[in-house]
Chains A and B, each alone.
Chain A
Amino acid sequence: MIETLADINWRLFAIVTLNGLTLASLYFIVASGFSLIFGLMRVVNMAHGSLYLLGAYVGFEVSEATGSWIVGILAAGLVVAAAGAALQVSILSWMQGQDLRQALATIGVSIVAADLMLAQWGGSAYQIALPDAVSTFVPVPVAGRYAMARLMLIGFALVIGIALWLILNRTRIGMLIRAGVDDRRMLEAMGVNVPLVFVGVFAIGAGLAGMAGVVGGSVLSVSPGEDARYLLSSLIVVIVGGMGSIPGAAIGALLVAMAETYGLAYTPTYGIVYTFAIMVAVLAVRPQGLLGRAA
């Protein structure tokens, strides 16, 4: 009896841990774009959730039309990157450097976008069909078996994380971005077209949100209200991990997602409390976030 009990618990624990990792992966992809944009431009992009939702809907439409999930996610990435660039050029560049005004403007954009998307796609939940190849199960030690799609999500987040790290640390663009984070004026003085870098970073950050939307819409589902949900999770992840830091976003996403999943599995309904407890603790002890630098 005790043996079976222990057995069941370990299986559950393994599955819940894997679930936490997949949720963390999704949070990381969304929050890394958010963090990137904040790190360089000090813009708290409150429309980031809308970009996620737009990506999910575009991905849904394109993959339905073409029958290909890959085309869907690429299209979502591109369309949302373009939307992000347009947001930066048409609205935010007019108030560069005015943090509060920019945050308020993006809240406005997110409200308008939410209503437009509700008008276009209605209130029901959509699910983006995954390719058959990943709609299978993989044997996993302890847990028994686990959905391929979710493991793929973890892999996808790793690829994104490594790619971002490489771009930021090993390329000229990355150097420009890092220099911009440290000293925007000096970079400008050295003859770099900073507004263009801004547009580029905004596009990358938005594109990440758009692709995350397709991934989230495949593994979970897409419906109105997801925008606010992912904006909130990005905010918490970034506050915990440290604004503007990619490794910070990874750690923040892990902590928040793990707290949420373990919470739901072992003490249902209180999952969300743990998330905020972590945030409060971090704010009390290390206000700039775990890996953030003091402003």
Chain B
Amino acid sequence: MTTQRFMLGTAATVAALMGTTALAQDAETITIGGLATLEGPFAGPGEDGLRGVELAIEEFGGEIAGHPIEFITASSDGNPDVALESARRLVEQDGADILVGPLSGSEGIRIAQYAKEQPGTTFLNGGSAAIETTLVDPAENFFRFNTEGAQWTSPLGEYVVNERGWDNIVIVSEDYSFPYAQIFGFMATYCEAGGTVQDKYFTPVGNNDYSSVIAQLPLEAGEVDGMYVVLGGSDAVNFLSQYAQMGGQLPIVGGTNVTDQTVLTTQGPARELLPGILSSGPVSDNAELEAWQEFTQRYQDYFGDEGLPSPSLFASNYYTNTKAALLALQEVEGDLSNDHEALNEALSNLEFTSPTGTVSLNENRQATAAIYINEVVEQEDGSLALEPLERIENVDQYLGLDREAYMELGLPSRDNPSCPS
């Protein structure tokens, strides 16, 4: 046993040492680096994101035009500095030709900046969805084939005013760029339709005791019609459980991550609050779309019990971005010469059918695609899933405005936008 372990250890060390040189000699291999949060509050989403990458590579049989694809991974914890360090390792040490990632909003902004320093590498977003990543001084070699946070939520704001008759809400949110984007998109149409926001409560990512915030929230509907919750991963689980434990019953509309499969599969008090939550986002578990059902089937066949009952938002986004890279690689037959000139060109013009329908890029290399308004429902087998209420086609980066009108709204922050009661 000890000898065996020693042998394995030695082998691993030797392999690690040889890794870089071996790659340099074998120009045929194309290395894809996957970057996701395997630690911290978004560990669940990160794990499922990488499943998406694996699934896409497997779909192409692990090779493109005779070039074997090598898949390596690195982890972050939601912190932009850690993400940057991991991206550096993948690109500069492990020689990744293509990087797929990161997962979290602020990480994405940092990696898109880093992309400018590395013109010889092609960057595809993973799951991150802050607005700034592809809006403010976007990098030529950073492509985002998933829609972003504001696109996901803009149809929902209008919907809760018109269909549910809400006009006064409170917002509970994590305090960084992605939730800002979600609130920005939501409030853009919500305030326009006549809604007001009484208060916003921001909490640090990875906060674990929400009781002090909950103490300030109404426990049932009254003056306030409902609460808009923009939390992800274990943050969402913690908040909802504690709100339920305190007897809270205010109707909830959720940010996209709140109703993701990574949260819907939780057990315990949080689960009681989940059925009936409205949310919006790029995926819907029960969408009748053929491409989605095929994707779900392949995900379930490939991962079985290891995966989630239905692929999460993150699996879908990582898959879509990886698939875009592989389709473009196929088109240029693996030609990576001249700082990936041909590949980047092919990516810019790529249009294909993702699990959630047709996706294409605009001049900022940001996706335009369909968005769903969903409701969480309990299925016959007892599991929770997103049931589509409405599908809105072709939601673009500027939320249907022209570029100038959109830029005038300013960048999202804690205080922008605001529409107090």
Most buried by A among B40, B207, B211, B246: B211
Residues of A near any B CB (own CB < 8 A): 11-12, 15-16, 19, 22-23, 114, 118, 122-129, 135, 137, 145, 147, 149-150, 219-221, 223-226, 229, 260-262, 264-265, 268-269, 271-272
**Which residue of A is nearest B265, CB measured?**
A124
Q: What residues on B are CB-neighbors of A269 within 8 Å?
A: 175, 202-204
Cβ contacts under 8 Å, B269 to chain A: 127, 135
* B393 at interface by CB-CB < 8 Å: no
* A31 CB, nearest partner CB in chain B, Å: 16
Which residue of A125, A128, A224, A264 is within 8 Å of B212 (Cβ)?
A264
Measured in the bound complex, the distance between the Cα atoms of B39 and A127 in whole Å is 18
Interface residues in B36-53 by Cβ distance below 8 A to A read 38-41, 43-47
Confirm or deny: B22 has a beta carbon within 8 angstroms of a beta carbon on chain A: no
B204: nearest chain-A partner, CB-CB: A269
Q: Are B241 and A127 in contact (CB under 8 A)?
A: yes
B77 touches A225 (CB 8 A): yes
> Does B268 contact A127, Cβ atoms closer than 8 Å?
yes
Establish whether residues A268 and B216, one from each chain, have CB atoms under 8 Å apart when the complex forms.
no
Whether B209 lies near A223 (C-beta < 8 A) is: no
- Whether A264 touches B203, Cβ cut-off 8 Å, given contacts A125-B44, A221-B241, A224-B40, is yes
Contacts of B213 in A (CB 8 A): 264-265, 268
What is the CB-to-nearest-CB distance from A193 to chain B, in angstroms, rounded to a whole number? 30
Instruction: State the 4 A-B residue pairs at the shortest beta-carbon distance, nearest first.
Output: A127-B268, A123-B43, A265-B212, A125-B234
Does B216 lie within 8 Å of A12, measured CB to CB?
A: yes
A268–B39 contact, CB under 8 A? no
A268 to B211, CA, bound (A): 13
Task: State whether B43 touches A220 (Cβ < 8 A).
Answer: no
Q: A202 CA to B208 CA in the complex, in Å? A: 28
Q: Residues of B with Cβ closer than 8 Å to A? A: 38-41, 43-47, 77, 175, 201-204, 206-209, 211-213, 215-216, 233-234, 237-238, 241-242, 245-247, 262, 265-270
Given that A12-B215, A261-B212, A264-B212 are known contacts, is A221 also in contact with B206, CB under 8 Å in the complex?
Answer: no
A129 touches B46 (CB 8 A): no
Chain B residue nearest in CB terms to A123: B43
Decide yes or no: A19 and B44 within 8 Å by CB, A127-B266, A221-B238, A224-B39 being known contacts: no
CB distance from B314 to the nearest CB of A (A): 11
Q: How distant is B306 from chain A, measured CB to nearest CB, in Å?
A: 9
B251 to chain A, nearest CB (A): 21
Closest Cβ neighbor of B270 among chain A residues: A127
Q: Is the CB–CB distance between B245 and A123 below 8 Å?
A: no
Task: Name the residue of chain A whose CB is nearest to the CB of B41.
Answer: A225
State whether A123 and B47 are in contact (beta carbons under 8 Å apart), knowing that A135-B245, A261-B209, A261-B212 are contacts in the complex: yes
Neighbour of A123 across the interface among B44, B209, B238, B246, CB < 8 A: B44
Task: Using CB atoms, name the residue of chain A closest to B207.
Answer: A264
Bound state CA distance, A85 and B247, in angstroms? 41
In the complex, 10 of the A-B residue pairs with CB atoms within 8 angstroms, ordered by the A residue number, are: A15-B215, A114-B39, A123-B44, A125-B237, A125-B238, A137-B247, A223-B237, A224-B43, A262-B212, A264-B213
A272, B204: Cβ atoms under 8 Å? yes
Contact A223 B215 (CB under 8 A): no
Other-chain residue from B201, B203, B233 in contact with A125 (beta carbon distance below 8 A) = B233
- Please, how many angstroms separate the alpha-carbon atoms of A70 and B265 in the complex? 25
Q: Are B175 and A126 in contact (CB under 8 A)?
A: no
> What CA separation (Å) do A272 and B215 show in the bound complex?
19
Bound Cα distance from A260 to B234, whole angstroms: 19
Assess whether A149 is in contact with B265, with CB atoms less than 8 Å apart.
Answer: no
Q: Are A229 and B208 in contact, with the CB atoms below 8 A? A: yes
- A19-B211, A125-B233, A264-B212 given; A223·B43 CB < 8 A: yes
Contact residues in A for B268 (Cβ distance below 8 Å): 126-129, 221
- Measured in the bound complex, the distance between the Cα atoms of B138 and A255 in whole Å is 45
Q: Measured between C-beta atoms, what is the minimum distance from B91 to chain A in Å?
A: 24
Please give, as numbers and ranges, the residues of chain A lying within 8 Å of B265 by CB-CB distance.
Answer: 124
Residues of B near A262 (CB, < 8 A) are 212
Q: Which residue of A lies closest to B233 (CB)?
A: A125
Contacts of B47 in A (CB 8 A): 122-123
Shortest beta-carbon distance, A19 to chain B, in Å?
4
Which B residues lie within 8 Å of A15 (CB)?
211-212, 215
Question: What separation, in Å, do the CA atoms of A137 and B46 have in the docked complex?
Answer: 36
Q: How far is the CB of A217 from chain B (nearest CB, A)?
A: 10
For A226, the chain B residues whose CB sits under 8 A away are 208
B212 and A16 contacting across the interface, CB-CB below 8 Å? yes
Q: Which residues of B contact A224 (CB under 8 A)?
A: 39-40, 43
Residues on the B chain within 8 Å of A261, using CB: 209, 211-212
Residues of A within 8 A of B238 (CB): 125, 220-221
Whether A221 contacts B237 by the Cβ 8 Å rule is: yes
Q: Is B203 a contact of A19 with CB atoms below 8 Å?
A: no
